[in-house]
Homo-oligomer: A and B are copies of this chain.
Amino acid sequence: MAESTNMRLRLPLLCIILEVILIILFGALVEYNDDTHAKMWNANKSHSATRDDYENEFYYRYPSFQDVHVMIFVGFGFLMTFLQRYGFSSVGFNFLIAAFSLQWATLMQGFVHGMHHGKIHVGVTSMINADFCTGSVLISFGAVLGKTSPVQLLVMAIFEVTLFAVNEFILLSMLGANDAGGSMTIHTFGAYFGLMVTRVLYRPNLDKSKHRNSSVYHSDLFAMIGTIYLWMFWPSFNSAITNYGDPQHRTALNTYYSLAACTLATFAFSALVNPEGKLDMVHIQNAALAGGVAVGTAGEMMLTPFGSMIVGFLAGTISVLGYKYLTPVLESKLKIQDTCGIHNLHGMPGVLGAVVGAVTSALASPGVYGHGLQRVFADAETGKWNPQSRGGFQAISLAVTLGMALFGGLVTGFILKLPIYGAPPDTHCFEDGLYWEELVPPHLAFTF
């Protein structure tokens, strides 16, 4: 076993080859955009007195970027530390695949979203978009958590990032969809991609590692660090790339209310579904976040705090019920082993968010949005504005996303099934000792 999971050549080779390719491609293709380029920023300034430093996109987006960055590295990383013997891998592999994905995503998103004279322009907006794409990979990571080697995860990231960029391009550029917070592009895509991967990688004998597939007291507290950071900064996530001014402000506000309502629903249904009325940490850690997912599309629209709270409450409810009743069925009937329950946190709430976005789009009108309409719906300016068809395109976007995710996950799953990546044996899933140097004997750590 030690042989088959040895990372000594596999992991270094893959990391170094990938990074060298990234560096070469960045050297050939990536340039500073006008707001990060010494010559361009100042050239424009000298032409016009109206462009001053406070207009640099840095000041509108960088605080949101840092919040998103915290969600990606601390939020996702620590959320997955709930497993008793998999904390190093949760935080560590999250770190590795995120660091790779954000570079690869910069290239892939740059390719498909349009280059400038053959060059990809980068700045704070590309940083946020790369982090968003990374988030999608980390969602999929949640489904296969504990059952994959770091090499497999990097290979998964290569394919998922690429497909993410294609799907995002179809939605945002071809279908003109709205999805600032990524209910579809990030959550639905990442969830169904990951669920399909874990389906293909189904392990009939995973029971052999069952005793490690659970939490202990401290590991649950570490996971709460992840939960709380995701919860707090979700308003920044959903608003990070909306238009300046009222859309950014409104999106943060809507997300704040959705999450608050979702939290009350989560506590309510967590106690309700337990025979003794006891709360389940799994629900609190995960379902309380579903409200952020579910306003990822409509958050920038005039959803109102009232609407946001209803959506959040629904999202929390279906998420808890999913953890309690659906996850066991998915495993026993559909052979989908979903370690973190991403179907409940990202899958169903993502679909709910897409539907809410389609309905809210279809109800949009100049009477409600005034001159702000085209700041939310880019094509409102063209005169061909038709909210019902907008709603229709939103619905089509959801279908495209589901198709891309399931198909991409299927193909990627089969690629990951090749016996060359050093995947853990069934008896040693959810176990840090396989890939991490041990400092204390396993029977002494975390098992007291």
Q: Give the B-binding residues of A (Cβ under 8 A).
A: 2, 6-12, 15-16, 18-19, 22-23, 26-27, 30-32, 35-43, 45-46, 53-60, 62-63, 66-67, 69-70, 73-74, 77-78, 81, 87-88, 91-92, 95-96, 99-100, 102-103, 122-124, 127, 150, 214-218, 220-222, 224-225, 228-229, 231-233, 235-236, 244-250, 252-253, 256-257, 259-261, 263-265, 267-269, 271-272, 274-281, 284, 288, 302, 304-306, 309-310, 313, 368-373, 375-376, 435-440, 444-446, 448
Contact among B19, B127, B214, B252 for A313, CB-based, below 8 A: B19
The residue among A81, A224, A310, A440 with the most chain B CB atoms within 10 A of its own CB is A224
Task: Assess the A446–B217 pair: CB atoms within 8 A.
Answer: yes
Q: Which residues of B contact A245 (CB under 8 A)?
A: 35, 41-42, 53, 56, 58
Task: Assess the A217–B87 pair: CB atoms within 8 A.
Answer: yes
Say how far A42's CB is from chain B's closest CB, in angstroms. Answer: 4
Please name the residue on chain B nearest to A32 by beta carbon. Answer: B250
Please name the residue on chain B nearest to A300 by beta carbon. Answer: B38
Q: Which residues of B contact A95 (CB under 8 A)?
A: 228, 231, 263, 284, 288
Q: Measured between alpha carbons, how far is A235 from B445 in the docked complex, in Å?
A: 35
Task: Assess the A36–B253 pair: CB atoms within 8 A.
Answer: yes
Task: Assess the B45–A435 pair: CB atoms within 8 A.
Answer: no
Q: Which residues of B contact A59 (CB under 8 A)?
A: 54, 59-60
Q: Measured between alpha carbons, how far is A275 from B8 in the docked complex, in Å?
A: 7
Task: Assess the A436–B8 pair: CB atoms within 8 A.
Answer: no
Given contacts A36-B246, A96-B267, A279-B435, 15 further A-B contacts (CB under 8 A): A8-B275, A12-B269, A15-B265, A26-B305, A38-B376, A40-B370, A54-B244, A56-B249, A62-B249, A69-B232, A78-B225, A88-B279, A95-B231, A217-B445, A225-B225
Q: Measured between alpha carbons, how far is A115 from B363 in the docked complex, in Å?
A: 27
Copies in the complex: 3
Task: Assess the B56–A236 pair: CB atoms within 8 A.
Answer: no
Task: Assess the A370–B284 pair: CB atoms within 8 A.
Answer: no
Task: Assess the B11–A232 pair: CB atoms within 8 A.
Answer: no
Contact among B15, B69, B368 for A264, CB-based, below 8 A: B15
Task: Assess the A306–B91 pair: CB atoms within 8 A.
Answer: no
Task: Assess the A259–B99 pair: CB atoms within 8 A.
Answer: yes
Task: Assess the A216–B252 pair: CB atoms within 8 A.
Answer: no
Task: Assess the B437–A281 pair: CB atoms within 8 A.
Answer: yes
Q: Measured between alpha carbons, how far is A231 from B96 in the docked complex, in Å?
A: 12
Contact among B16, B66, B371 for A63, CB-based, below 8 A: B66
Known: A32-B304, A63-B63, A275-B8. A38 touches B437 (CB 8 A): no
Q: Measured between alpha carbons, how far is A81 from B228 in the docked complex, in Å?
A: 14
Q: Measured between alpha carbons, how far is A269 from B96 in the docked complex, in Å?
A: 13
Task: Assess the B39–A8 pair: CB atoms within 8 A.
Answer: no
Contact among B18, B233, B372 for A66, CB-based, below 8 A: B233
Known: A16-B268, A56-B246, A264-B15. A437 touches B280 (CB 8 A): yes
